[in-house]
Amino acid sequence: MEEVYVEDRKTIRKKAFIFDLDGVLVFTDKYHYLAWKELADRLGIYFDETINHRLRGVSRMDSLEIILERAAESYTDAQKEAFAAEKNETYKNLLEKMTPADVTREVRDTLAQLKSRGHKVAIGSSSKNTKFILKQVDLLDVFDAVSDGTNITKSKPDPEVFLKAADFLGEEYDNCIVVEDAYAGVDAAKSGNMLCAGIGDARGYEKTDYPLDTFSDILKIAK
């Protein structure tokens, strides 16, 4: 009897959605680029848009390591910490320019629709600036939970950020659908035993369960 009840409850349970931030809800890669470029130029290290693309979904320190691949000298951990802090200062000054107009009507309406259909929604982002960005674009109150770079020890492709988001929501992992734009994020979702919808770069990735042509396509998979 108990087993039937549990099974029934599972089948009627609404999926929860966990959204990556950068590249899905907002587009801050241009600001990351400008901030890393300023640092790289000061250090005399070559940096371009192609290298910047490799930084998508990757943590701040891992991003720095990618940039330093082209450095002529090696740096101490203390110097690397200082470089990352310097970049973040520049980046945060650029983020100050963001306003609610940086989130499309399509994104806002889709999130509202999901919530009105009874789905929980959370953020799963590598960024330590997540709450600052959400505040700038007036999305902070929309989410039931926020898991970000401040509450994890391992960044994507490790699933920790998404597992924490599910824990914060009180959801089982296999009842969550992650929405991602980066390969590292899709890998993280899949190794966390979650379903994954892919937009942008991740749309064509073979590990993506639901390719999205446009953000509102999420409503087609919201059951």
Report, as residue numbers or ranges, the catalytic residues. 20, 22
Residue 181 within binding range of Mg ion, rule CB under 5 A: yes
Q: Which listed option, Mg ion, ligand B16, none, makes contact with residue 147 (CB within 5 to 8 Å by class)?
A: none
CB under 8 Å, gap of 24 or more: what pairs does 163-166 form? 163/192, 164/124, 165/18, 165/122, 165/123, 165/124, 166/16, 166/18, 166/122, 166/192, 166/194
Q: How far is the CB of 176 from ligand B16 (least distance, A)?
A: 16
Please list every residue from 58 through 87 that binds ligand B16, using CB under 6 A.
58-60, 63
Specify whether the backbone of 23 is left (phi greater than 0), alpha (psi in -120 to 50) or beta. left
Which of 20, 102, 187, 201 is in the footprint of ligand B16 by CB under 6 A?
20
Query: Degrees (nearest 5) of the Cα angle 214, 220, 221?
Result: 105
Number of neighbours of residue 106 by Cβ within 10 angstroms: 11
Can you list the alpha helix ranges (DSSP code H) found in 96-223? Answer: 105-116, 130-136, 160-169, 183-191, 218-221
Task: Restricting to residues 116-175, name those near ligand B16 by CB under 6 A.
Answer: 125-129, 149
Q: Closest distance between ligand B16 and the C-beta of residue 10, in Å?
A: 29
- Which CB, 148 or 181, lies closer to Mg ion? 181
Does 45 help bind ligand B16 (rule: CB under 6 A)? no
Site for Mg ion in 5-24 (CB under 5 A): 20, 22-23
16, 32, 57, 129: which one binds Mg ion (CB under 5 A):
57
How far is residue 201's CA from residue 167's CA, in Å, rounded to a whole number? Answer: 27
Q: What angle do CA 11, 13, 18 make, to 5 degrees?
A: 125
Place of tokens 């930084």: 55
Instruction: Please identify, among the stretches 19-27, 138-146, 166-174, 192-200, the one whose residues bind ligand B16 according to the rule CB under 6 A.
Output: 19-27
Judged by CB under 6 A, which of 57, 157, 192, 198 binds ligand B16? 57
Rounded Cα distance, 70 and 37, in Å: 13
Residue sitting closest to Mg ion (CB): 23
Q: Residues in the site for Mg ion, rule: CB under 5 A?
A: 20, 22-23, 57, 181-182
Q: Residues in the site for ligand B16, rule: CB under 6 A?
A: 20-23, 32, 55-60, 63, 88, 125-129, 149, 182
